[in-house]
Amino acid sequence: MKRALLFTALAGCATTGALAAPANPMPMPSQDIPARVEALLRQMTLEEKAGQLNQLSGKDFTGPETASKTNKLKDIREGHVGSMLNIRGVAQTREIQALALQSRLKIPLLFGLDVIHGYKTVFPVPLGEAASWDLEAIEQSARIAALEASASGVHWTFAPMVDIGRDPRWGRVMEGAGEDVFLGSSIARARVHGFQTDKLGGVDAIMATAKHFAAYGAAIAGRDYNAVDMSEQQLHETYLPPFHAAVDAGVATFMNAFNTLNGIPATASTMLQRDILKGSWKFPGFVVSDWGSVREMVVHGYVADLSGAAQAAMAGGSDMDMEGHAYRTHLPELARAGKVNMAQVDDAVRRVLTKKFELGLFDDPYRFSDAEREKRVMADPSHRAIARDVARKSMVLLKNERATLPLARTLQRIAVVGPFADARRDLEGGWIVQSDAANVVSLLDGIRSHAGSAKVDHIKVDGLQGALDAKAIQQAAAADVIVLAVGETWDMSGEAKSRSDISLPGRQEALFAALQATGKPVVAVIFAGRPLIFNHIADGAAAILYAWFPGSEGGNAVADVLFGDHNPAGRLPMTFPRNMGQVPISYVQYQTGRPVRDENSIVYKSAYIDSPNTPRYAFGYGLSYTSFAYSDLRLSKKRIGPTEQATLSFTLTNTGKRAGAEVAQLYLHDRVASLVRPLKELKGFQRVVLQPGESRTLSFTIDQAMLSFINARLQRVAEPGEFDVMVGASSDDIRLNTVLELGGAM
């Protein structure tokens, strides 16, 4: 057994670039907030305290008068509501805030909303943005979302979702940053900063939420809301770090999760919320439950009734009850009966009030609700330009045979075919809050505006439903190139959209085969919120562009890539399997005692007899219209001591004829350790733009933190020994490698 070096810091080496953030006017003074909170708390009744921990949905506010609406309005006026979700727009937020100000203590409401990938201007779905590996672009997307949402009276977004997702059946992988701990943590920080800026208090800074705490992405069999069963070591090593990164970035709130974790609902987990989050990590913000997750503990069979649910959630560290009605109904009586700890209730209220002060709502409850600003910000044309740039950066070129792309300017005729050729709503993806699908640029619009003198034929064959129209397909043969737009509809991924089969739905692969039979090159553009399986297209298409759900400017962004106005540089943030049997799947693989060393010799090896182990497309993979060479790997030291660092450097050269971005990836492997370590773990990356022929020296600093892992006793340790150091263009395309030795303890 090797001696472990214990330490606590978890270092990362990717940098979140400084973003030219718009001014953050008038941050509120924070020095006297604790005193103001205490003064208020002293005046509050038990009912008013429970009220601050009660969050209701305003969804039914726009419809007819209902009993539920009447009750909610009354509750707000009487100070029994601390926050509303699904209320937006200056007019509505002003109206509802005015009701809260009629209450005895005039405590303003917080307005929360799922601003997941844009507000009025829709950006790519988060998984798509993650494929850009461009932290500045991702931060900027969150910034624009915050500008628009805040101008519409919204104080708080329920984003980013930082759940690690390794099972593409789970529809919510669409909302996250994919499968990797390091990439996910880097993106968590970028998104939090984009939403919140450096400090809450500016009128364009909204509170972010790290969700869903925790391990929600590991639902058994990829079925949403399902139980999670995992070792604490895996929890700490893989699922918690992006949450920790969000805390480090100053995230204002957390949301817990619907799932049970090893038998205990996350909503009632003292281990997660009290010991880890508020204890070890010293998180100063508050935790909101997921929608009704407090009351769902009755359905789980964890508590007998709603009162028990309120008691368990409060003990577990859930500060605010989202649409569960458990705190509002039962906390006062539980407190009077001594069944909840009053110090815990006060602590929860304190946390909520502190955020209201930090946002400046006690100084001006309407400060986010300014009609003139709302009008001006929503009309800002720069937001769409940024959305277009982020969308094209998110796209991943999976295949490009015989340099089919970019499309030649000499083409005379382009056929655009498939169910998504003129789609608008689908290009937005799920979790849309304030956009108008009519304003989305379709693929056809984008191609038409880029095609110059080439004739663009829209050939209407669906492929999702019904039979394929052979006559229409034949028309495509007249074109020089066929652009086939396939994928999932917007509502096939997202919450409660788990699929047991992630193949391209309907007859889209058959449509591809029919088009391929025309003999014309087929360029497939795939719209989706998750990795899909599309083996016929993967084998037979001339080129494939994975466009995710790209948002308002989707059609323009795809066309920018197809016509070469943008050189694609997206890299997959999730592994794409060949078949369902490989799922769940990730590049993070542990060495077995029987590894496959030769695909032709798999007897008694850790293999499938009917499928290779390797995925269709690996994590980190993506092509460019240019090529890059890696050379001259140098390590400043072959051996480092516990407090030392080594600098790894290498030369990256653009060996092609176009300017382009490469994402150089650093992977490490601890050869012998007290727990068997993954064969590769991403520990750094750099996205670099190079002109044709240009070379640049890139370097990474490797220190003990990067060599560390969570051991069997849940301690972060770096064990002395040898480490493989690998630099490559993707997790399965390592171009340079060497070995670094970590010496023993001081």
The alpha carbon of 614 is separated from its chain's Cα centroid by a whole number of angstroms, namely 25
C-beta closer to ligand BGC: residue 114 or 167: 114
Question: Which residue's CB is nearer to ligand BGC, number 216 or number 368?
Answer: 216
Q: Which two tokens stand for residue 692?
A: 């044709």
- Report how far residue 719's alpha carbon sits from residue 721's, in angstroms, rounded to the nearest whole number: 6
State in angstroms the smallest separation of the CB of 259 from ligand BGC: 10
Minimum gap (Å) between residue 52 Cβ and ligand BGC: 19
User: Hey, is 578 helix, strand or coil?
Assistant: coil
Q: Which is nearer to ligand BGC, 291 or 617 (CB)?
A: 291
Closest CA to 206 of 16, 368, 387, 18: 368
For residues 307, 313, 317 and 319, what is the CA-based torsion angle, rounded to 10 degrees?
-70
Q: Which of the following is catalytic: 290, 426, 462, 670?
A: 290
The gap between the terminal CA atoms of the chain, to the nearest Å, is: 17
- For the sheet with 660-670, list strands across it: 639-640, 733-742, 721-730, 660-670, 681-690
Q: How far apart are CA 670 and CA 676, in angstroms?
A: 8
Residue 211 or residue 295: which is nearer to ligand BGC going by CB? 211
Residue of closest CB approach to ligand BGC: 158
Nearest residue (CB) to ligand BGC, 206 versus 444: 206
Assigned token pair, 368: 């986010």
Q: Minimum Å distance from CB 224 to ligand BGC?
A: 9
Residue with smaller CB distance to ligand BGC, 254 or 534: 254
Q: How far is the CB of 299 from ligand BGC (least distance, A)?
A: 14
Residues in the site for ligand BGC, rule: CB under 6 A?
85, 114, 158, 211, 290-291, 495
Please, what is the minimum distance in Å from the beta carbon of residue 208 to ligand BGC?
A: 12
Please, which residue, 243 or 362, has the CB nearer to ligand BGC?
243
**Both tokens of residue 621?**
């993979």
- How many residues are present in the chain? 746
- Looking at the DSSP bridge assignments, the partners of residue 260 are 265
> Toward ligand BGC, which CB reaches closer, 493 or 665?
493
Distance CA 651, CA 699 (A): 9
Estimate the crossing angle of helix 554-562 against helix 382-394, to 10 degrees: 50
Q: Minimum CB separation from ligand BGC for residue 708, in Å?
A: 31
Q: CA–CA separation, 714 vs 371, rounded Å? A: 52
290 is catalytic: yes
The least CB distance from residue 85 to ligand BGC, in Å, is 6
Packed helices 135-150 and 382-394: angle between N→C axes, nearest 10 degrees: 140
Residue placing its CB nearer to ligand BGC in the complex, 291 or 709: 291
Name the minimum Å distance from CB 139 to ligand BGC: 21
Indicate the residue among 158 and 685 with the shorter CB distance to ligand BGC: 158
CA distance 246 to 553: 29
Judged by beta carbon, residue 86 or residue 579, the one nearer ligand BGC is 86
Residue found under tokens 């909170």 = 37
Residue 334 Cβ vs ligand BGC, minimum distance, rounded to whole Å: 25
Give which of 337, 330, 274, 336 is closest to 297, Cα–Cα: 330
Which is closer to ligand BGC, CB of 157 or CB of 489? Answer: 157
Alpha-carbon gap, residue 86 to 158, rounded angstroms? 11
How near is the Cβ of 209 to ligand BGC at its closest, in Å?
A: 7
Backbone angles phi, psi at 411, to 5 degrees: -60, 140
Residues whose CB is less than 8 angstroms from the CB of residue 361 and which lie 6 or more positions away in sequence, other chains included = 108, 110, 155, 367
Residue type at 557 in one-letter notation: A
306-316 vs 326-336: helix axis angle to the nearest 10? 80
Q: Are 71 and 98 in contact (CB under 8 A)?
A: no
CA angle 612, 613, 615 (to 5 degrees): 95
Closest distance to ligand BGC from the beta carbon of 168 (Å): 18
Provide, rounded to whole angstroms, the least separation between the CB of residue 84 and ligand BGC.
Answer: 12
CA distance 208 to 145: 11
Please state, in angstroms and rounded to a whole number, the distance separating the CA atoms of residues 176 and 123: 14
Q: Give the strand pairing for 321-322 and 54-57.
A: parallel
Query: What is the distance between the alpha carbons of residues 66 and 60, in angstroms, rounded to a whole number?
Result: 8
Nearer Cβ to ligand BGC (290/389): 290
Cα–Cα distance measured from residue 693 to residue 708, given in angstroms and rounded to the nearest whole number? 37
What the block records as the tokens of 154 is 């919204």
Whole-number Å distance between alpha carbons of 372 and 374: 5
Cβ partners under 8 Å of residue 51, min gap 6: 75, 78, 79, 80, 81, 82, 328
Minimum separation from the CB atom of position 254 to ligand BGC (A): 12
Give residues with Cβ within 8 angstroms of 562, minimum separation 6: 405, 406, 407, 447, 450, 483, 523, 525, 545
Q: Closest Cα to residue 407, out of 505, 514, 543?
A: 543
For the annotated catalytic residues, the residue numbers are 290
